Chain A
Amino acid sequence: MAQMTMVEAINMAHAWEMASDPSVVVLGEDVGTNGGVFRATVGLQQRFGKSRVQDTPLAEGLIAGTAIGMAAQGLKPVAEIQFMGFIYPALDQIASHMARLRNRTRGRLSCPVVLRMPHGGGIHAPEHHSESLESLLCHHPGLRVVCPSSPARAYGLLLAAIRDPDPVIFLEPVRLYRFARQEVPDDGQALAIGCCFVLREGSDCTIVTWGAMTVDSLKAAEQLALEGVSCEVIDAGTLAPLDFETILDSVVKTGRLLIVHEAPRNCGLGAEIAATVGEQALYDLLSPIRRVAGYDTVMPLYRLEHDYIPGVARIIDAIRATLAE
C-alpha cells in the first residue's frame, strides 16, 4: 500500500469518485492543465477529459454560482477555491443560494456541491493566502463544513463530501498538505461526516480542535503525558453540524475542556463549543473552559505567522492552567 501525503490522498479520492460516478465534475482556477496550485487535481484532466475537469475564469463567485446551476441539473460539481482568503466574492452564492436552494424549493432542487479550499497559514504564503474563516461558513444553516487532519481522513471525508446530497465546504489545512505520509488504501470507503474523531484517549482534560491544530494539540498531549497529565484529543472533523455528543461525553469523563483553533478567538467556533458545553455539562466541569485561538488581529504577513498561529507552548500552558484551578 502506498504511503502518501494529504494532497495525494485528496487527488486519489477525486479519481476514485470520478471513475465510479460519471456525474462528478471538477472545476476551478488552474485545476485542469496545471492540476491545481497545490496539485490536488493533478492528472485528472488527462484521465477524465476536459469536459469533466474544467478550468474556469478567475472569478470565485462565478465558480460557486456555476456549481449551483450544474448541481441543480444533476451533476456533482467538486469546485476548488484557490485559497480561503479569496472566498469573499463567493459568499453571496454560498449563503444566498447554495445553502438555501433545497429549502426554498421544498426539496425540488438541491445542491450536491463540494467547495474545496486550502485553510489556514504556516507555509510562508503571501497576504490573503493564510486565512481561517470557518466561522463565516458554519454560521449558515444548510451547509456542512468539513476539515480533515490526516491523509486517510482527507480521503474518506472527501469521498463522503462528494456523495453527500447537500453542499459541503471542504477545508484543507495547507500546513498538512505535505506534512506527513500515511498508508491510505484506495478502497472507495467514505468516512462519516458529522462525527468527531477521538485521536488520543485521556482522562484529565479534553482538547477539541481541528485541521492543522490537531498536530500541535497531539504534540502538547504527548509532552504533558511525560509529566503524567492525560489529555484526550478530539478532532472535530466536521465543523458544522458539530458532533456535540462525542465532545460532551468526553467532557463528562475528563471534567476539563480546552478548545484550540487557528481562527481568531472572537466569534470563533470555539465560542459555540464553549457555550454548548456550558449549557449542557457545566456541573461536570472541574474548571473553567479555556480557549487557545488565533489573536483577534489581522493574519500577519509570513514573518510573524508562527507568532499568530497557536503553538504547542500556548496549548501546554493552557492545559496546566486548567489543571491548576
Chain B
Amino acid sequence: MSEYRTAAHFDIAYRACLDADGAALGELPGWAQDGELLRRMYRMMVRARSFDTKAVNLQRTGKLGTYPSCLGHEATHVGVGAAMHADDVLFTVYREIGTKFWRGIDMLDVLLYWGGDERGTLYTRSPQDFPFCVPIGSQMPHAAGAALAIQIRDQRRCALAFIGDGGTSQGAFYEALNFAGVKSLPLVCVIVNNRWAISVPVSAQTAAATLAQKAIAAGIPALQVDGNDVLAVRDVVGEAVERARRGDGPTVIEALTYRLSDHTTSDDATRYRSTEEVSAARRLEPIARTRSFLQARALWTDADEQALKAACSDEVEAAVKQYLATPKQSTDAMFDHLYAQLPAALHAQREEARRYAAPGH
C-alpha cells in the first residue's frame, strides 16, 4: 500500500509584549527603550478615542452623518501608524483614524468626510494615502498596485493595507495577496480581526482557525498579534514594513482586537451579542493597559493624563467648531473633479445644477 507523507508544514506564530494588565511579558523590543516614542503612541491613542467619542455624539445630535466608531481598535491603529514611514502608502477601510492621525490627517478631514463633504479626503500631509474605502475588500488590489509601482521603480518604500475580518471573505482580498505572493511585492496587510462584521461573528465568516493562515495559500509569511497591545503591534508591523522596504516581500498580520462599539451609529449591537461578551472584551481594552504599562515605567503621571485630556478636548472642540463653520461646497463641486477637464457634454448639467442649487447646509 502506498504511503501518505506530509507535503508541507505550516504554523501561525502569535506575538504579545504585554499581559492583560499592561505588564511586560518578557524582554521588550529594543525600540521600546525610546520612552518619548511610547508616550507619543499613548497620546495618539487617547487623541483618537477623544475624537471618536465626540464624533459619535455629533452624530447623535444630528451634526454628523453615519459614523463608524474605532472604540477598542486604538492600539492596532496607532501601532501601525507608528510602524510606517512617511513615504509608505496607506490603504484603510473606514475606521482607522488612529493611523490617519499619526500620518498627519486632521480631525477636520475626518469630520468633513463623515459630514458629507469630499474635501475631507485632501490629506495634505500624506498626499499619496488613499481615502476611506467603503466597498469591503476592494482596497486590497489598490495596495497591490501601489506596491507593484514601487517595485517597478525599485524604490525602498512599501504599501500597507488594512482589511477587516469580514473583508477576508472577499475575492479581492485573496486576489491581491495571491498577486503579492507571486511578485514578492512590498506590501504589508493588516487584518483587523475585531470579531464582528456588523452582526456576523468570525465563526460564521470562516471555518479557518485563524485569518492569518489565509496568507499561507498565497505563499506569504503570516502571524497573529495581540491587537490591543500597542507595543506588539508596533513591533511586528515594524518588522514587516522594514522587510517590505528592503525588497524581501509581503507579510500578513492578523491583529486580534474587539469592536467595543456598534458597527456604525446606524447599528445596534445589542441585537446580536451579549453584554457579558462586551464586558469581558472591555477589560482588555488597549488604553488603560498602555497607561498602566507607562505608569509602571514612570513614563506617565496623573498630571500628564490630565494635561493630555485637556489638550485633546481643546483640539477636538476646535476641529468641531471649524467643521460646523465650513459651508457646503457649491454645486460645481459635483462636476469640478469628475475629469481633469469637464467634457463639453456636461457643461449644460453644471449650469442646471447652479440654477437649482439648494440653499444652506
Contact = CB atoms under 8 A, between A and B. Distances in A.
B123 A108 contact: yes
B343 interface: yes
A57 interface: yes
A144 B128 CA distance: 24
A61 B144 CA distance: 12
Given A51-B152, A73-B145, A106 B122 contact: yes
Interface residues of B, number: 43
- Chain B at the A interface: mostly helix, strand, loop or mixed? helix
Contacts of A70: 145-146, 148-149, 152
B128 A106 contact: no
Nearest to B151: A51
Contacts of B159: 69
Given A62-B172, A74-B149, A105 B340 contact: no
A75 B337 CA distance: 20
A102 B89 CA distance: 17
Contacts of B192: none
Contacts of A97: 135, 138, 142
Interface string B118-136: 1101110001101100010
A242 B346 CA distance: 10
B50 interface: no
B141 interface: yes
B307 interface: no
A297 interface: no
A64 interface: yes
B343 A59 contact: no
Given A65-B141, A67-B145, A106 B176 contact: no
Given A97-B138, A194-B343, A73 B146 contact: yes
Given A93-B141, A96-B138, A75 B172 contact: no
Contacts of B338: 102-103, 141-142
A103 B118 contact: yes
**Most A CB within 10 A of own CB, among B123, B135, B339:** B339
Given A67-B145, A73-B145, A106 B121 contact: yes
A97 B140 CA distance: 12
B167 to A, nearest CB: 13
Interface string A131-151: 000000000011010000000
Contacts of B336: 106-107
A77 B145 CA distance: 10
B101 to A, nearest CB: 18
Nearest to A143: B339
B327 to A, nearest CB: 15
Contacts of A62: 141, 144, 172, 175-176, 178-179
Given A57-B175, A73-B128, A75-B149, A65 B144 contact: yes
A52 interface: yes
A70 B91 CA distance: 13
B182 interface: yes
Contacts of B337: 102-103, 105-107
B87 to A, nearest CB: 12
B236 to A, nearest CB: 24
A243 B345 CA distance: 7
B70 interface: no
B145 A68 contact: yes
A67 B131 CA distance: 17
A109 interface: yes
A307 interface: no
B346 A68 contact: no
Nearest to A113: B145
B116 interface: no
Contact of B118 (A73, A104, A194): A104
B339 A102 contact: yes
A108 B127 contact: yes
Contacts of A165: 339-340
Contacts of B340: 102, 107, 110, 165-166
A69 B147 contact: yes
Given A65-B138, A66-B141, A104-B131, A73 B179 contact: no
B29 interface: no
B171 interface: yes
B237 interface: no
A29 to B, nearest CB: 12
Interface in B316-361: 336-340, 343-346
B121 A108 contact: yes
Given A59-B179, A104-B118, A105-B118, 7 more contacts: A59-B171, A59-B178, A73-B149, A97-B135, A102-B338, A103-B337, A105-B337
24 contacts: A57-B178, A59-B175, A61-B172, A61-B175, A62-B178, A65-B140, A65-B172, A66-B144, A66-B148, A66-B176, A68-B141, A68-B142, A69-B142, A69-B143, A69-B146, A69-B159, A70-B145, A71-B145, A92-B172, A102-B337, A102-B339, A105-B131, A142-B339, A241-B346
3 nearest A-B residue pairs (beta carbon): A69-B145, A65-B141, A73-B149
Interface of B: 89, 91, 118-119, 121-123, 127-128, 130-131, 135, 138, 140-150, 152, 159, 171-172, 175-176, 178-179, 182-183, 336-340, 343-346
